[in-house]
Amino acid sequence: MAFDIALDLVRGERRIALTFATGAGITALCGPSGVGKSSVLAAVAGLLRPQSGHVVVDGVTLFDAAQNVSVPPEARACGLVFQDLRLFPHLTVAANLHYGERRAPRARQIVGFAETVRLLGIEDLLARRPATLSGGEAQRVAIGRALLAGPRFLLLDEPLAALDGALREGIMAVIERIRAEFALPMILVSHHADQVARLADHVVLMDTSS
């Protein structure tokens, strides 16, 4: 199993409960907005602590309430591409890309800097600040930053939502190449049926009763 996940999360008034186990490739997490998809990703990344349950990725236990195991986010080797991207505004694009790369042990690195930049087509952006990037450019930089951090798995939160037409197609192609070249398990949050149909190897549906 790539992802073996059982979560019971409390977010304010709401309670999110979700259990799934999926194999290699891309797992699409679908459901109406506000159902808690981003919270699930945050819990898998370790930024939220579930009340109970477990998070096991590729056989490694990252969280287990029963055994009181909780690997801190900085040690989970999870490439999380946030829906709001969260590029560091005080750093150049190059420094944003290097941020995770410099902190990842060599053995975990799956792709070099030059190759990542080429793959994402961001060669010309390296000296710029995030505030000067377009939505599509920033999206690609955020994916590059996650990819360079030596991730054991990727969590992509609506990576296509802000994009249209050719840009959307470009990012989808990138995601497919990441799957093909690096064999990284991924969770993709999306609520577009066409994207899910094209990219997903597994689909997990969330609704308000889940």
Partner 1 sequence: MLTAPEWAIVGLSLKVGAVAMFAALPVAFALAYVLARGRFAGMILLDAVVHLPLVLPPVVIGWLLLIAFAPAGPVGAILQRWLGITLLFRWTGAALAAAVMALPLMVRAIRLSLEAIDPRLEAAARTLGAGPIDRFVTVTLPLARPGVLAALVLGFARSLGEFGATITFVSNVPGETATLPLAIYAALQEPGQESTVWRLALVSVLLSLGALVVSEWLMRRTSKPGSAHGV
Residues near partner 1 (CB under 8 A) are: 45-47, 72-80, 82, 84-90, 99-100, 103-104, 130-131, 133, 135, 138, 145-146, 149-150
Q: β-pairing, 186-189 with 26-30?
A: parallel
Between CA 47 and CA 73 the distance in angstroms is: 6
Between CA 110 and CA 44 the distance in angstroms is: 21
**Minimum CB–partner distance for residue 208 and partner 1 (Å):** 25
Q: Considering beta carbons, is residue 19 or 134 the nearer one to partner 1?
A: 134
In 9-158, where does DSSP find H-type helix?
Answer: 37-45, 93-103, 113-120, 135-148
Q: Considering beta carbons, is residue 88 or 182 the nearer one to partner 1?
A: 88
**Minimum CB–partner distance for residue 193 and partner 1 (Å):** 27
Q: Considering beta carbons, is residue 21 or 162 the nearer one to partner 1?
A: 162
- Is residue 35 within 8 A of residue 206, CB to CB? The reply is yes
* Six-digit token string for 10: 């409390």
Give the Å distances, CA to CA, from 77 to 10, 35, 104.
24, 26, 8
Q: Considering beta carbons, is residue 31 or 46 the nearer one to partner 1?
A: 46
**Minimum CB–partner distance for residue 100 and partner 1 (Å):** 4
DSSP-assigned states of every residue in 46-75: TSS--SEEEEEETTEEEEETTTTEE--GGG
Q: Considering beta carbons, is residue 54 or 145 the nearer one to partner 1?
A: 145
**Minimum CB–partner distance for residue 122 and partner 1 (Å):** 14
**Minimum CB–partner distance for residue 164 and partner 1 (Å):** 17
